[in-house]
Chain A
Amino acid sequence: MKRIKDERLIIRNLENVRWAFGIENLAALAILASELINRRPWNAILSLKNPAFLLVFIGSMVLVVLSLNVAGPIEGGKRKLSTRFLIMAFLLEWLFWGAFFWMALAFSQMLLSAICGLIPELVMTGSTLYINRFREG
């Protein structure tokens, strides 16, 4: 395929990709809906082994992470969060996620809960740090 040089066609191509993404996700959601109607168990539908759910999940996660570079500049007018606040927020949120996993694991495996809680917390802190770069003062 020839490389597109015309800026109008590059934009058009990106719009096409956006449409393809939307239709692909709608199709995956339709498959999930049909599985729900056919009374497939919830845990089987919402499992990462289910390709339709995996597709929607990956698409949503990628979109959430990519939307940071849109959310960041919008936050630009607000005051910058201090390092102390960020550390406190990190610890409190880690505690929350750790407790969440601890409960999910029937109040056992504390170390594993702490490690599992660290993963969503690192994503949250990473996004907060990224957005904080755009804040003022």
Chain B
Amino acid sequence: MMAQNRVREIRSRVGMAQKDLAAQVGVTRQTISLIEKGDYNPTINLCLNICYALGYKLDDLFWVDEGKRRS
């Protein structure tokens, strides 16, 4: 189950480079790129750190499509 996200959109809106976001949350730039492309599911810790770095709530950045949720 791959979570959806708006990291790229929000990061652009905030005007932060992938490299800077990566440095703030303690991962490599490639990891941020993979998260934005939806190719890597980050842990809740990393999700929260990304949210704190961008100044948004978890719900605004990450979600799972209704059809793919576990009931």
Contacts and interface: CB of A to CB of B under 8 A. Distances in A.
Contacts of A9: 28, 31
Q: How large is the interface on B (under 10, 10 to 19, 20 to 34, 35 or more residues)?
A: 10 to 19
B34 A5 contact: no
Chain A facing B: main interface SS: helix
B38 interface: no
B26 interface: yes
Contacts of A8: 27-28, 30-31, 34, 40, 42
Interface in A1-26: 5-9
A30 to B, nearest CB: 35
B26 A6 contact: yes
B46 A7 contact: yes
A9 B42 CA distance: 11
21 contacts: A5-B26, A5-B27, A6-B26, A6-B27, A6-B28, A6-B31, A7-B27, A7-B31, A7-B42, A7-B43, A7-B45, A7-B46, A8-B27, A8-B28, A8-B30, A8-B31, A8-B34, A8-B40, A8-B42, A9-B28, A9-B31
